[in-house]
Structure 1
Amino acid sequence: MGMARTLKDMMLFNEGLAYIGECKTVTLPTLTRKTEEWRGGGMGGVAEMDMGLEALEMTSTFGGPMRDILRQFGVTTVNGVYLRFAGAYQDDDTGAVDSVEVIVRGRHKEIEFGDQEVGEAGEFSVTSGLVYYKLVWNGRTEIEIDVLAGIEIVDGVDRRAAIRNAIGIF
């Protein structure tokens, strides 16, 4: 018998500052391959060619306005904001807890204040465009993507090493 891992608790850090009691939700980056269809002569059907990664982004929501996030809006470098999600996922079948961290760098591209109503908890959300992503599961790096450096490591294998080598980037 097996049970799904359930997120039992989480924390979001912004430049090392912990959002204890402030962060409501985090939508972690979706990893999506950009593909293009190709059907050449002699092929019995269409094959999808891998053209790299689609843009990465992460969204977080909070119970109200976050001044430090507002102060980061318009940062001039594409990797100017460092965010880290730390999640504790527990298997209710065995009780085992897995630590899952997602470390990203990018910049905020959208800040939404949402509806503001007196006497109600507000909602403040931020969407960040990313150029760096690292997924660490129980201390082991599973995936690391550095868009600017052309690095894409999955399960310890850099899948772009040969491409960087071919164009003289080591």
Structure 2
Amino acid sequence: MAMPRKLKNMNVYNDANSYQGLAKTATLPDLARKMEAWRGAGMDGPVKADMGHSDDGLQFEWTIGGMDLISIRQYGVTNASGVPLRFAGAYQRDDTGEVSVVEVILRGRHESYSFGDAEPGEDTEHTITTTCTYYKLIVDGNVEVEIDLLGMVFMVNGVDRLAEQRAAIGL
């Protein structure tokens, strides 16, 4: 029997600044497509056409302990890709002990910054939601998914899914 890879440890980096000891949770962006049902003449049911990435976009939500001036000072940055973030995770199988290195590279800007509850003598957590224009998932050194919304790049396991579309429109 095999056992799944489980996240054993992680770190978050904001503009190359390590959040070791500060980052508590990280919710990685959902990978979602916008699908539109089409049922034409002679079809027994609808088939969903892929219309590109979901309208919900790429959202990275992360929670940190305490007050963090680096991320607060990034709030309202005007460049849509102005905040570089990186998630580094160690996923381990308990049957073999094998550790997989999972890295997610993101670029975007902070959409919301929740300061949470302020209560003396209690834990202080801030939650930041970063909307991203760029996403790259690397597992054990292999680029599994790369999405550059502004550059019209969509790669999955080395296959450029938008190459023909970019060529068709002269990009």
Using structure 2 for the length normalisation, give the TM-score: 0.97
Task: Report the secondary structure of 2:105's partner residue.
Answer: strand
Shift of 1:123: 1.2
Q: Alpha-carbon deviations, 1:51-103, whole Å to 9, x = none?
A: 00011110000112211100000000100000000000000010000000000
Give SS of 2:59's match.
Answer: strand
Which aligned runs of 4 or more in structure 1 are off by greater than 2 angstroms? none
Aligned to 2:39: 39
The Cα RMSD (Å) is 0.6
- The equivalent residue for 2:61 is 59
2:135 pairs, out of 126, 133, 136, with 133
CA distance in structure 2 between the partners assigned to 1:12 and 1:111 by the alignment:
16
Cα distance between partner residues in 2 of 1:157 and 1:6: 27
Whole-angstrom distance in 1 between the partners of 2:144 and 2:134: 14
What is the TM-score when the length of structure 1 is the normalising length?
0.98
Q: Which residue of 1 aligns with 2:90?
A: 88
Q: Paired residue for 2:79?
A: 77
Give the count of matched residue pairs.
169
- Residue of structure 2 equivalent to 1:162: 164
Structure 2, unaligned runs of 5 or more: none
Q: Return the offset for 1:156.
A: 0.3
Q: Please state whether the residue corresponding to 1:164 is helix, strand or coil.
A: helix
Kindly, what percent of the aligned residue pairs are identical? 51
